Amino acid sequence: MKDTNDWIKIYKGEIYMKIQIIGLGTVGTAQASLSQKFGHETVGYDPKYESHPYCKTNNGLIIDADITFICTPELVVPDVIEHLIEIGYKGLIVIKSTVPSGTTKTISQKFNAHICHNPEFLREKTNLEDVINPSRTVIGECCSEHGEMLKKFYEPLDRPIYVTDPDTSEIIKLVSNSFRAVTITFWNEIAILCNKKSVDVNEVSGMCDSAKLIGEWEGGNWGTRYFLQPYDGKCLPKDIRHLRDAFRSVDENPKLFDACEEFNNKLKNSKNLR
């Protein structure tokens, strides 16, 4: 794991930008802390906070930032971008929120604006550590010029950076969370079978390599360490729903994901199963 104090010495002054963070919750706080560590001038706006440990706060949005990261709940992302355009913002807009499939392209076309999508993969409980030690960064670029600018922002992390288009990066984020939801559900369902057959599910999962994936990385109390605990929290339930909506938008029936949600809801509602 990197020592973040080292970075400031190594990287401060190499590139210097004015960074605006909109929405200072779990994701925005982590993004502000990252920007500040890189030595950028970092300002933030969130109606909930008058002050913030990792950035200077403003009463509204500013128009002279080089990059603005939007870290609000996805429902308000279109309004925030509309407001930025209305006040004459000309810098790069980057959506970090987990938006429904197709959002970035639709908003870019509506406002004739350059917007990148840059999904966040951190865990809620360890947001500040995860943001400086990501397994990878994914950039859904609107154009190579802006993709390059965003790459420069993340280069000090010295981690893999994958560049793609926004449609793809949106799907990557939804798939990554849905994969977790399905795997958690997979093991919860296996636990029911094992219990009925008086087989120890811990022994089964312990001797299946794939079982290591879930539970260790997750911040929640689910996975192979917590059999029969439904997945929950702010992200997994809604992100698998966004993925199912994406299937439906192309007239497909996502049977696996529908079954996953149905089983998870059954677990949530039934004490007998747990």
Ligand X SMILES: NC(=O)c1ccc[n+]([C@@H]2O[C@H](COP(=O)([O-])OP(=O)(O)OC[C@H]3O[C@@H](n4cnc5c(N)ncnc54)[C@H](O)[C@@H]3O)[C@@H](O)[C@H]2O)c1
Q: Annotated active-site positions, please?
A: 235
When asked if residue 169 is in the footprint of ligand X (CB under 6 A), the reply is no
Calculate the alpha carbon distances from 153 to 62, 186, 202 in Å: 19, 38, 43
Helix (H, G, I), strand (E, B) or coil at 115: strand
Ordered DSSP codes for 38-60: TT-EEEEE-TT-S-BTTBEE-SS
CA dihedral 23, 28, 31, 36 (to 10 degrees): 70
Minimum CB separation of residue 1 from ligand X in Å reads 19
Query: Which residues ranging from 228 to 267 are in contact with ligand X (CB under 6 A)?
Result: 234-235
In terms of CB distance, is 201 or 240 closer to ligand X? 240
When asked if residue 218 is in the footprint of ligand X (CB under 6 A), the reply is no
Interacting residue with ligand X among 3, 48, 250, 271 (CB under 6 A) = 48
Backbone dihedral angles phi then psi of residue 145, each to the nearest 5 degrees = -60, -45
In terms of CB distance, is 24 or 115 closer to ligand X? 24
Distance CA 133, CA 241 (A): 28
Query: Which residues ranging from 96 to 135 are in contact with ligand X (CB under 6 A)?
Result: 97-98, 120, 122-124
A 10 A CB-CB count for 150 gives 22
Residue type, 149: M
In terms of CB distance, is 48 or 271 closer to ligand X? 48
When asked if residue 22 is in the footprint of ligand X (CB under 6 A), the reply is yes
Interacting residue with ligand X among 26, 42, 137, 183 (CB under 6 A) = 26
Calculate the alpha carbon distances from 146 to 39, 89, 117, 164, 266 in Å: 20, 15, 11, 12, 45
When asked if residue 25 is in the footprint of ligand X (CB under 6 A), the reply is yes
When asked if residue 23 is in the footprint of ligand X (CB under 6 A), the reply is yes
In terms of CB distance, is 97 or 264 closer to ligand X? 97
What residues line the site for ligand X (CB under 6 A)? 22-28, 45-48, 71-74, 76, 80, 97-98, 120, 122-124, 234-235
